[in-house]
Amino acid sequence: MPTSAFVLLVLVLATTLGWALLRLRSQQRAVRSLQQAIVRQQRMLRENLPGALGGAWDALCDATSDLIDEATRLRELRAGHLAQLEATLGSLREAVLVIDGSSRVVLANQALQEIFPHTNRILGQRLEGALRSVGFLNCVEAVRRGAAEPQQEVEFVEGAHSTWVEVTGTPIPPLDGGKEAWALFVLHDITRQKKLEAMRREFVANVSHELRTPLSVIKGYVETLTDGHHEMPLDDRDKFLRTIARHTERLNSLLEDLLTLSRLESTSPGLRPESVSLPALLADVLADYGARPAAAAHRLHAAVDPALAPLPADPLKITQAVENLLDNALKYTPAGSRIDVEARLRDREIVVTVRDNGPGIPAADLPHIFERFYRVEKGRSREKGGTGLGLSIVKHIVQLHGGRAWAESTPGQGSAFHFSLPINHPS
Ligand code: ADP
């Protein structure tokens, strides 16, 4: 081959290789640009392609941009639907929870957040981390297997706080195209009902227990008297009848206190407010007690501010509250103890105090003594004719007047029972 021809061949080969390299680089840049456009989900213009790549690349660019547009539209549509769904669920009073195939929370409405206020940012969390309840996890499993009961009561425990929820669950097709079924739950807060049920059960158990002892004593003595009163010595008959009378009186007090409590707790507690002068009311109560044989062994003192202005209150109910406190002071302190009745103005309320220097109340019992049927010493209270309802009645009376009742005590030194009455409560 002549030298000139060889040089020409080398030149042509070099030019072709250079051109091919340039084109390859342009194509690499084009692929990168398309990849970035897809990642950023931004349309790509033909003009942004490196020059002179040809019609096929223009078509690829247009098709990719159309796909990006379509994906954006579908995303917006889905977001719109989810927003709509969220708005709809948000307006529901029922709490709604949707979890995906891997038990991640996909949707939780406002009502759910209200049931579980301590659980924040529940969305996206795994169920077992967000809402701790073995019962609920079992319920989720059962729903997935299609074996769930139509409605289930489930307890959620958060520290010392327990929430009871009635759950209805149903599996739904996965919205993410996955294989595992999603699940939708409607939750209804029944904590209040549960608490009321427990209170009712406890109350019925307490009342039955209180009734049982005097009734069985009365029954036993009546049977003995019925069978053998002819040959029974008069003294024994007398003793038996007195025991029956004492237990009948106990039943009577219990029923009286129960009726009083039930009236006070009803929607119409029968309050008859009028303008009451506390110094006069307390003087009457003390005069009455001073004349009772039960108070003879005690020293009663009054320290009532005579200038206390009249306040709106039901005088009979306030009298009952003071009497219950005085009865207790007499019942639970030994003969010779001192009992002080005080009343003074403090801010916008009058505080009445019944103080004694008796045995006092242990600190552990103090927060409970206003609860129904709570007694520090059960035997002693019953022996003294107590029903366990006296302080509960005081608390209710005072609350109906817009005030509150509380107690302070130093064991071995005495107790002070206080109640406050606002001076301008509309009773
Ligand atoms: P009870 O009918 O048993 O007296 P209360 O509700 O009036 O019921 O009182 C609840 C409990 O509080 C009593 O059983 C008694 O143990 C305790 N208690 C009340 N007042 C006094 C007091 N002044 N001193 C000591 N303990 C008291």
Expressed in angstroms and rounded, the spacing between residue 418 Cα and the centre of ligand 1 is 14
Assigned domain for 84 exists: no
Asked if 318 and 300 sit in the same domain, the reply is yes
Q: Is the pLDDT of residue 277 over 90?
A: yes
Q: Does any ligand 1 atom lie closer than 6 A to the CB of residue 327?
A: no
Of 132, 161, 189, the residue that ends a domain is 189
> Which pLDDT value is given to residue 314?
96
CATH of the domain at 361: 3.30.565.10
Q: Which bin fits 52, alpha (ψ -120 to 50), beta or left (φ > 0)?
A: left
Asked if 285 and 414 sit in the same domain, the reply is yes
The stretch 367-395 carries a mean pLDDT of 91
Expressed in angstroms and rounded, the spacing between residue 124 Cα and the centre of ligand 1 is 54
Confidence bin at 37 (pLDDT 50/70/90): confident
Of 268, 288, 304, the residue that ends a domain is 268
Asked if 382 and 352 sit in the same domain, the reply is yes
Q: Is the pLDDT of residue 275 over 80?
A: yes
> Which pLDDT value is given to residue 242?
95
Q: Which atom of ligand 1 has the smallest separation from the CA of 358?
A: 24
Confidence bin at 52 (pLDDT 50/70/90): low
Q: Is the pLDDT of residue 426 over 70?
A: no
- Taking a C-beta distance cutoff of 8 angstroms, is the pair 184, 98 a contact? yes
Q: Does any ligand 1 atom lie closer than 6 A to the CB of residue 387?
A: yes
Structural domain including 249 reads 193-268
Number of domains in the chain: 4
What predicted TM-score, i.e. pTM, was given to this entire model?
A: 0.70
Q: Report the residue among 256, 330, 391, 398 best suited for mutation to probe ligand 1: largest number of ligand atoms under 8 A from its CB.
A: 391
Assigned domain for 153 exists: yes
> Which pLDDT value is given to residue 42?
85
Assigned domain for 405 exists: yes
Q: Does any ligand 1 atom lie closer than 6 A to the CB of residue 407?
A: no
Assigned domain for 80 exists: no
pLDDT digits (tens, 9 = 90+) for 133-149: 899 999 999 998 888 78
CATH of the domain at 181: 3.30.450.20
Expressed in angstroms and rounded, the spacing between residue 121 Cα and the centre of ligand 1 is 48
Q: Report the residue among 256, 381, 419 best suited for mutation to probe ligand 1: largest number of ligand atoms under 8 A from its CB.
A: 381
pLDDT digits (tens, 9 = 90+) for 203-244: 999 999 999 989 999 999 999 999 887 888 889 899 999 999
Instruction: Provide the angle, in degrees to the nearest 10, between the axes of the packed helices 390-400 and 315-332.
Output: 150
Q: Please report the beta strands in 141-270, taking only residues with DSSP state E, as ranges in sequence order.
A: 152-158, 161-172, 182-189
Assigned domain for 259 exists: yes
Q: Does any ligand 1 atom lie closer than 6 A to the CB of residue 409?
A: no
> Which pLDDT value is given to residue 424?
79
Q: Does any ligand 1 atom lie closer than 6 A to the CB of residue 321?
A: no
Expressed in angstroms and rounded, the spacing between residue 10 Cα and the centre of ligand 1 is 117
Q: Is the pLDDT of residue 411 over 90?
A: yes
Asked if 294 and 397 sit in the same domain, the reply is yes
pLDDT digits (tens, 9 = 90+) for 178-206: 778 899 999 999 999 999 999 999 999 99
Asked if 120 and 239 sit in the same domain, the reply is no
> Which pLDDT value is given to residue 1?
64
Of 241, 268, 295, the residue that ends a domain is 268
Asked if 309 and 393 sit in the same domain, the reply is yes
How many angstroms separate the Cα of 183 from the Cα of each of 102, 115, 139, 144, 161?
A: 10, 19, 11, 7, 27
Asked if 403 and 301 sit in the same domain, the reply is yes
pLDDT digits (tens, 9 = 90+) for 109-140: 889 988 988 776 788 889 888 888 899 999 99
Asked if 258 and 310 sit in the same domain, the reply is no
Q: Which atom of ligand 1 has the smallest separation from the CA of 354?
A: 23
Residue nearest to atom 16 of ligand 1 (CA): 376
Expressed in angstroms and rounded, the spacing between residue 369 Cα and the centre of ligand 1 is 7
Q: Does any ligand 1 atom lie closer than 6 A to the CB of residue 328?
A: yes
Asked if 183 and 217 sit in the same domain, the reply is no
Assigned domain for 86 exists: no
Asked if 154 and 262 sit in the same domain, the reply is no
Q: Is the pLDDT of residue 401 over 90?
A: yes
> Which pLDDT value is given to residue 223?
93
Q: Is the pLDDT of residue 3 over 90?
A: no
- Taking a C-beta distance cutoff of 8 angstroms, is the pair 350, 344 a contact? yes
Asked if 10 and 57 sit in the same domain, the reply is yes
Asked if 246 and 159 sit in the same domain, the reply is no
- Taking a C-beta distance cutoff of 8 angstroms, is the pair 281, 317 a contact? no
Assigned domain for 82 exists: no
Confidence bin at 383 (pLDDT 50/70/90): confident
Q: Is the pLDDT of residue 427 over 60?
A: no
pLDDT digits (tens, 9 = 90+) for 77-105: 888 887 887 788 888 888 999 999 889 99
Chain-wide mean pLDDT for the chain? 90
397 CB neighbour count, 10 Å cutoff? 27
Confidence bin at 280 (pLDDT 50/70/90): very high
Angle at 35 between CA 31 and CA 36, to 5 degrees: 120
Assigned domain for 83 exists: no
pLDDT digits (tens, 9 = 90+) for 298-342: 999 999 999 999 999 999 999 999 999 999 999 999 999 999 999
The stretch 165-171 carries a mean pLDDT of 94
**Any long-range contacts for 114-118 (C-beta under 8 Å, 24+ apart)?**
115/163, 115/165, 115/187, 115/189, 116/156, 116/158, 116/163, 118/158, 118/161
